[in-house]
Structure formats: C-alpha cells, structure tokens
Amino acid sequence: MSNTIDFQATTGAGGEIVQVTMSYEEDIDGVYAENIESVKFEGVEVIGLISEKQFAELEIEGCNAINENKIIAMQNYEP
C-alpha cells in the first residue's frame, strides 16, 4: 500500500526549517521504498538545491517520522 507523510525538519548551515513530503510502501512485512518527493522552504520547492548529505539526513528524519506515526497508531489502536 502506498502512503505519504509530511513532516518538518531542519537542514543547512543555518538550520532552516523545511517542509518535506515522503512517500513509502507498506505491507505485512513492514515499510519499504521510502522516497522524498518534495522539500519546500518558505513554500518554494528546493529539492534540487540540497546536497546529498542533507538529502540523506532528511531521509533518516522521514523514516523516524514514519516509525513514530506507526507507534502512535499502535498505542491508539481500538479493535
């Protein structure tokens, strides 16, 4: 099943806040195929301007956000 998550993260030398949209697939075995679709700074798309290191850091933050959402969903699960 294909999903997306939106989250805020900081990046760059100035620690600027960006809005990130990440897509991922999920099945019975877990989450896979995580991919950053969009990185916006003050409403402007900047995905082509970030470095590979920044991109990798944003991917890690996105994976953490996915895991946090899964934990919250499990804690609030009602059969």
38, 20 Cβ separation under 8 angstroms: yes
pLDDT of residue 78: 82
- Of the candidates 52, 56, 59, 73, the residue with the CA atom closest to the CA atom of residue 22: 59
pLDDT of residue 43: 95
Query: What values do phi and psi take at 35, rounded to 5?
Result: -150, 130
Name the amino acid, one letter, at 25.
E
Name the amino acid, one letter, at 17.
I
pLDDT of residue 53: 94
Given a cut of 90, whether residue 38 has pLDDT beyond it is yes
Go through the chain and tell me how many residues it has.
79
In which region does residue 30 sit, left (phi positive, over 0), alpha (psi from -120 to 50) or beta (all else)? left
Given a cut of 80, whether residue 40 has pLDDT beyond it is yes
